[in-house]
Amino acid sequence: MSTEEPRAKPPKILKPRYGRGKAPTHDRIRELAFNQPYYREKTGNWGESDWPGSIKLTPILTIVKDEAHRATEEHASLIEKDTRFSKNGEDSIQIIYSTFLQRIQRRYDNGSLGGEYYELIQDMLSSTENALSDNVEDRRWLFKWAVGDYERSKARSTRRENEKSRAKPEESSDLSSSGSSGLSMQPRLEARDDTLQNTVPVRTGYKIGELLNDAHDPDGEPKLKEKGSLSR
């Protein structure tokens, strides 16, 4: 008869309430959801103990987010545009969730996910699945949070690209204006028959090289064509 104690089941965890205006950061998720004896013991207080096998939360959540992102991209056609992922139909969410679970399993099978991490992720997903909860927000809330993080990242990237696009015409206009005004203040050299004429104004402290570099026509092209070398 086996004397091995049955493995404890992970506790059920409802979606935490972060508070108005507070983002669901890794630290808040740990404190409000997974700061429980079961997970503190399993992870060495989430990496804060001297236990050699202690595990931090951030690497775990990074894996969850990566695979949730990929599963979402794989089924992008199922997601309603301009709608939060958690507000999509349960059937669509279930399909994407199943693909997500398969990706986690595949990562473990091919050796890219260690056994302790795999077991911990399975426990966390089990704790947060709450399939029978009357509140739809509690169902698979950790997975939905991971997909939501992906949506927020895409939105930030889109905003940055839009801001860059709007800024480019203004920058070009500013450069054009400054270039024109700068040219009007530059000394001008005149070249006739490919020889340097004595029309360069004498300015104390200027080298001939600086004057040549300053000489441009209104279109920004050098006024002089170099031919041979200048004698000093």
Side chain identity at residue 184, one-letter code:
S
Under the banding of pLDDT at 50, 70 and 90, the label for residue 5 is low
The mean-pLDDT minimum among 17-21, 62-66, 158-162, 182-186 falls in 182-186
In order of 18, 37, 54, 120, 216, the CA distances from 31 in angstroms are: 10, 12, 17, 17, 65
Task: Give dist(CA 199, CA 209) in Å, integer.
Answer: 15
- Copy the structure tokens of residue 209: 């090289």
CB contact at 8 A, 12 and 126: no
Say whether pLDDT at 109 is over 90.
Answer: yes
For 222, the 3-state DSSP assignment is: strand
pLDDT of residue 164: 82
Q: What percentage of the chain exceeds 70 in pLDDT?
A: 70
- The 10s digit of each residue's pLDDT in 42-52 is 999 999 888 88
Under the banding of pLDDT at 50, 70 and 90, the label for residue 142 is very high
Query: In DSSP terms, which residues pair with 124 in a beta bridge?
Result: none
Under the banding of pLDDT at 50, 70 and 90, the label for residue 195 is very low
Across the range 44-70, mean pLDDT stands at 93
Tell the residue number behind the tokens 């990566």, with chain if given.
66
- The 10s digit of each residue's pLDDT in 8-40 is 899 999 999 988 878 899 999 999 999 999 999
Q: Which helix (H) or strand (E) holds 156?
A: helix 141-184
Tell the residue number behind the tokens 């889109």, with chain if given.
158
Helices (H), 1-137: 26-32, 37-47, 57-74, 90-109, 115-129
Neighbours of 93 (CB within 10 A): 22
Q: Is 188 exposed, middle or buried (0-12, 13-18, 19+ CB in 10 A)?
A: middle
- Copy the structure tokens of residue 130: 């709450």
Under the banding of pLDDT at 50, 70 and 90, the label for residue 111 is very high
Task: Give dist(CA 87, CA 38) in Å, integer.
Answer: 31
pLDDT of residue 3: 56
Under the banding of pLDDT at 50, 70 and 90, the label for residue 177 is low
